[in-house]
Amino acid sequence: MFDYLRYYFSPALQVMAAVGIYIGGPYCWLGLATLPGLAIIDTVLPRDTKERKINNRALADIPIWIGAIFAVGLYLFLAWRIGQGNMSVVEMIGATLSVSWLGVIIGVPSTHELYHQQGTLQKFIGTYSQVIYLDASRDIGHRVGHHLDVGTPEDCDTAQRGVNLYAFAARAVYESTVTGWRLESEAMMKRGRSRWSIHHRVWKAILAFVVFELALFAIGGVAAAVCGLAGACVARVWVETFNYFQHYGQVRIPGKPIGRRHVWNHLQPISRIVAFEITNHADHHLDAYTPYYRLKPDTTAVKVPSVFVCFLSALIPPIWNNVVIKPALKEWDLNHASTEERELARQQNLRAGWPDWFETEAELSSAA
């Protein structure tokens, strides 16, 4: 039963943030405060490599539905709170950052789980709940682009070695938008329609965001609409930063099969629970329809820190490079990459100005 209950931790955080916004004052920052708080707890706790014992999909999906709907609901609740007319600018900033952050760490994995399901309602809610991070057509590039191109130069969600978080996020926002537009335009043309057709998903995504902003304005006025736009923009950048940690530096020969090794798994307990197993998604790249609770932790993979720790460390590139990712990539290159992938990895290392650990390893082998 606990395997079912543990995933209600995410909705509980959303409720906590709503209560904080309602109370006001410094409590408006409660949602954002979960970032360092969860990072500390996740680091202290031992890794969680257990498989979940869940058999009832309907029950398992309840916290997913709540997470996706509450992610949008928090913005609407904030709009209502702003509409009461007694929130200071500092309170609005804290509340906006709180709903934006929770919209990423909880909203992204819950919407991701829904739009990967086969039901019409699941796909609709999963798709259009993405208005909270300014990208209700994101699933196009994710399903048709990322899942086919992961680990290759074609994948805008896979960061090349040596690229820092800031440069990656800025470029990824642009490239993911262009990729989604291009893939949907190609789909339109294959159906005999214009690439500018009114049926184009991007137009629907834009309309969804306009409706979202109008709802915020109707509830809380101009200030609420501005906070909604600001929160969605910040969340969009945040979304790209988390892609940074899932596949950073991974390489794969285009056209070759995708393996469990082509993903970083953050198997700390809080990371797994809060993000509905999206940090444990090696199997997801082998079968995108596998529900989150059936994803098996890859205990043979390279160990990397909590996704929260990765985010905080990447804010200071030298720490991210030298303490976190270079050691992980060195182990991945030498023990998990194929022969062809090692050559690609070596080329990226040289371009990034990183040490050539392949040569060092060869020298040590010769000396032995």
Mean pLDDT for the stretch of residues 278-306 = 89
144 vs 292, more confident: 292
pLDDT of 19 over the 90 cut: yes
pLDDT of 73 over the 90 cut: yes
pLDDT score at 329: 95
Q: Contact, 329 vs 161, CB < 8 A?
A: yes
pLDDT score at 325: 94
167 vs 184, more confident: 167
pLDDT score at 248: 93
Indicate the domain borders of the chain. 2-316
The closest of 272, 303, 330, 276 to 50, measured between CA atoms, is: 272
Between CA 294 and CA 277 the distance in angstroms is 9
Q: What is the CA radius of gyration of the chain?
A: 21
Between CA 331 and CA 352 the distance in angstroms is 17
Confidence of residue 65 (pLDDT cuts 50, 70, 90): very high
pLDDT of 168 over the 60 cut: yes
Q: Which amino acid is at 242?
A: F
Q: Which two tokens stand for residue 307?
A: 């996704």
Mean pLDDT for the stretch of residues 279-292 = 87
**To the nearest whole percent, how much of the chain has pLDDT over 90?**
68
Between CA 185 and CA 50 the distance in angstroms is 42
pLDDT of 74 over the 70 cut: yes
Q: How many helices (H) and strands (E) are present in the chain, helices listed first? A: 17, 0
The SS3 assignment for 154 reads coil
Helical H segments across the chain, by residue range:
2-5, 9-23, 30-44, 57-83, 89-105, 107-115, 120-128, 138-140, 147-149, 165-190, 201-247, 269-274, 307-314, 317-319, 326-335, 339-352, 357-367
The SS3 assignment for 66 reads helix
- 94-129 tens-digit pLDDT: 999 999 999 999 999 999 999 888 889 999 999 999
Between CA 233 and CA 132 the distance in angstroms is 9
pLDDT score at 97: 97
Angle at CA of residue 333, ends 331 and 338, nearest 5°: 135
- 238-276 tens-digit pLDDT: 998 888 988 999 999 988 988 889 999 999 999 999 999
285 vs 66, more confident: 66
Mean pLDDT for the stretch of residues 84-93 = 95
pLDDT score at 361: 62
Backbone phi, psi, residue 60, to 5°: -65, -25
pLDDT of 87 over the 80 cut: yes
Mean pLDDT for the stretch of residues 298-324 = 92
Mean pLDDT for the stretch of residues 339-367 = 82
- 179-235 tens-digit pLDDT: 888 888 888 898 888 888 888 888 999 999 999 999 999 999 999 999 999 999 999
For the entire predicted model, the pTM comes to 0.91
Confidence of residue 49 (pLDDT cuts 50, 70, 90): very high
Mean pLDDT for the stretch of residues 279-299 = 89
39-43, 73-77, 137-141, 275-279: least confident range: 137-141
